[in-house]
């Protein structure tokens, strides 16, 4: 398998999702152009980490045809910038903000710099983003329901939409990656110019030898969904002596990763007998 084919395969998306989850307890969307809605339910495909939607709780009806849930999702104010990065002990860290230097960039809305190491690392940056959440009233209604099938659903309870995003999965080559959301060149000099509606922006990158994706939406639109949260009602827990369930401790909780520990190439780690000649592919 070539490096290019690995980055285009299921193991790359699974590894990226795994790294972002470990850093944030949130799920990355490997293709942020795919729309993800609050209230959607389904399950994760353990082969690539993609959430397969089966339906949406807002479409569920009572026997008399009435919607079960009517309180709409809640939206936050626009967040200027939101970032998630995973770096391990082989990385030397991250710098981000409007003041990180980037060669050839005169005006930037955001810039970042990551020093990766010999193990796989990742980052996800959203600019001009918004959080949409399932209201607590709906979560309480499901929690208080006597419908066990409803309680067993894995539900998307929060989505992060963005006007612009960039994401990166490193190449294990100790790469120093610089990224900027910057004004397109050339920029005419004008006193007091700020990054805004009059300037066309573009993502610029340097040093990226791994998988880099980015996009910029139309002004005022939040067309990308790079990040989301999935929860399920957990419990009730049992007593240590395997007695009856303890009352009143059912709760919403995050869904764990649907795979065991992954190596740098997205394969589940297995115990290899000492002296074995088997080695991981080096992509």
pLDDT at residue number 213: 95
Interval 91-121: pLDDT, tens: 555 555 555 566 666 677 888 888 898 899 9
Burial of 201 (0-12, 13-18, 19+ CB in 10 A): buried
Select from 214, 280, 258, 227 the least CA-distant residue to 48. Answer: 258
Interval 197-232: pLDDT, tens: 456 889 999 999 999 999 999 988 999 999 999 999
| pTM for this entry | 0.83
Compute φ and ψ for 12, nearest 5 degrees. Answer: -65, -45
pLDDT at residue number 182: 87
Q: What is the pLDDT along the chain (283 residues), one digit of tens a residue?
A: 677 788 888 999 999 999 999 999 999 999 999 999 999 999 999 999 999 999 999 999 999 999 999 999 999 999 887 888 776 645 555 555 555 566 666 677 888 888 898 899 999 999 999 999 999 999 999 999 989 999 999 999 999 999 999 999 999 999 999 999 988 765 554 443 444 445 688 999 999 999 999 999 998 899 999 999 999 998 765 544 555 655 557 899 999 999 999 998 999 987 555 554 444 444 4
pLDDT at residue number 259: 94
Six-digit token pair at 148?
């066990």
pLDDT at residue number 64: 93
Select from 134, 127, 125, 201 the least CA-distant residue to 163. Answer: 127
What is the domain partition of the chain in residue ranges?
A: 3-235
């Amino acid at each position: 398998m070539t490096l290019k084919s690995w980055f285009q395969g299921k193991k790359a998306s699974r590894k990226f999702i795994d790294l972002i989850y470990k850093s944030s307890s949130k799920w990355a969307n490997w293709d942020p152009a795919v729309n993800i809605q609050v209230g959607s339910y389904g399950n994760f495909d353990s082969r690539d980490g993609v959430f397969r939607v089966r339906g949406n709780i807002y479409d569920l009806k009572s026997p008399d045809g009435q919607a079960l849930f009517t309180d709409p999702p809640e939206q936050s104010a626009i967040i200027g910038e939101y970032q998630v990065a995973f770096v391990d002990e082989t990385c030397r860290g991250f710098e981000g903000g409007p003041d990180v230097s980037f060669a050839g960039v005169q005006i930037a809305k955001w810039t970042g710099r990551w020093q990766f190491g010999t193990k796989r690392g990742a980052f996800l940056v959203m600019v001009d983003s918004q959080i949409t959440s399932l209201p607590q009233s709906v979560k309480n209604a499901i929690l208080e329901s006597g419908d066990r099938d409803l309680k067993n659903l894995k539900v998307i309870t929060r989505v992060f939409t963005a006007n612009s995003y960039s994401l990166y999965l490193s190449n294990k080559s100790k790469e120093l990656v610089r990224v900027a959301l910057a004004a397109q060149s050339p920029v005419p000099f004008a006193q007091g110019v700020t990054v805004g509606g009059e300037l066309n922006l573009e993502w610029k990158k340097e040093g990226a030898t791994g998988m880099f994706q980015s996009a910029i939406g139309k002004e005022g639109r939040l067309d990308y969904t790079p990040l989301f949260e999935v929860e399920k009602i957990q419990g009730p827990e049992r007593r240590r002596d395997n007695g009856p369930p303890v009352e009143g401790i059912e709760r919403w909780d995050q869904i764990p990763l649907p795979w065991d520990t992954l190596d740098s190439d997205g394969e589940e780690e297995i115990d290899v007998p000492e002296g074995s000649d088997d080695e991981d592919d080096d992509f």
